[in-house]
Structure 1
Amino acid sequence: MSIMMMSLLLKLVFPAPPSLLINAFSVVCLLSSPNLGLSEKRGKQHLQYSKFWNSISQKSASTQTTTELPSRTGMLILYVPAFLAPLMSLVLFPHEDIRVILLSSALAIHFFKRAFEVLFVHKYSGGMVLDSVIRISSGYFLATTSMIYGQHLTQGLAEPAVDLKYYGVVLFLIGITGNFYHHYILSQLRRNGEKEYKIPKGGLFGHVICPHYLFEIIGFLGFSFISQTLHAFSIATGAIFYLLGRSCATRRWYISKFEDFPQDVEALIPYVF
């Protein structure tokens, strides 16, 4: 079985690049992902943002001194560096391999969409801890630049036997569209000035409480299919574990806050999980 899986893997991905940094980053992603997902599932949020953090931040304010930014400012800092990295790649290296161009374009669109939502879609009810903003922003920037660099290292190598890049484009488009649609639904739950949370309805919210996470996972799978590098697959794996855990924590939070939360609404995958 292991030989068959290895043979299939070799048909789907480029060989590991001659880069100690990229290979080490891939291993770290794969090894740390399950623990990060379990930590999120158990409610041990290390990144200190969103409603989970805002709901407990006041309780800990008296025992811990933190620097907070307005949520809109903090979230822009999260995404703008990761948007500029692939944009600069496209501007400075316009004649790269088609996979580099497709991956850089998809990443630029992904983070542009996120920045657009920060400015024009999302509603805010709290702040963001500066330390967490720096860590998350650095993580996004590192993941983005390392995926592009890892893709650059594949130029001149034989293509994988199974070409997935255009399937990846389709997955990316489905993911980014579904994610934006459900973010828009969430933004419409509150009228101007309202801060209380509500049970979301519409789209796939009748089946799962985190359809925006589901489509984000589809988008990350799109990146990995476009790239077909072990590094891109390791980052997608990290995103999947993290969002699995986070969706479980989100469902548990809604159940704790709303007595009328529908019990048949799953966390992430309709009728399954």
Structure 2
Amino acid sequence: MATPGRRRTSTPLWLTANAVGLAVLLVCIFPVYWMISRSTLPNNRIRTKDQTWLPLNPTNDNYGRVLDGDGFRNALTTSLAVTLMTVAVALLFAFLAAVAVSRFRFRGRASFIMTLLLIQMIPAEGLFISQYKMLEGMSLLNSVFGLTLVYVASVLPFTVWTLRGFVDGVPMELEEAAMMDGCSRLRAFFTVTLPLLAPGLVATGLFGFIQAWNEFTLALVVMTDPAKETLPVWLIGFSESRSRGVDWGAIMASSTLITIPVIVFFLIVQRRMVAGLTAGAVKG
């Protein structure tokens, strides 16, 4: 007789939780829907006070203005090159650092970990002048390599700290068992531990990808050549026309196109991403 009572008690809670979850989902996806829907409307309909929920009589003129010329393609090429290089280099160095911190005990280990946290607390704007002067002295301004260098420096502390948690979650006993079966320490790590860290590498790489892809201020400082702009910097060009005002239609269309690579990358790695985010949640 207690079971029906529990069901009657839990049903309202279940409905309330689902209603709250649905409300949060709608709040999160509404800006995306609004961006996509406004990208198919002319500017006079976007600026009007009488907004429509559904984009009736859509047009592709906004996308035509965005794709006209080489601006979007050049910015897309620069953003892809910088972002992919940043993720690859940051994961490589962060992986080596995370393994060293997690698997070995050495002098200055605790100080190194605390330094990572302190670096994360430094405002990015406070480093602009020194970063600019450094790149200028190395003749790396307006170069993909130079922007990648500062991106790696900004992404690396978070990447090391995150990967360290994944490495800590893999028991050392697995490597020791492989070494007892005749594997060297290096072979045991690469054949046993590294495959188990793949979800963590993917999850961390996705966060690094999003951070580098959407970064604006560093790219604005480093890439002063219009032909070398990244997508976020190139996007502000539609808001600088004094004669026509802000081209909201082009901004919405550009923002929609900019999100596509992130969505594609997420769809490719989503299974590994979920496994990485839930790694260590259940202990056997």
TM-score of the pair, normalised by structure 1:
0.30
Task: Give the structure with higher Rg (CA).
Answer: 2
TM-score of the pair, normalised by structure 2:
0.29
Report the structure, 1 or 2, having the larger helix content: 2
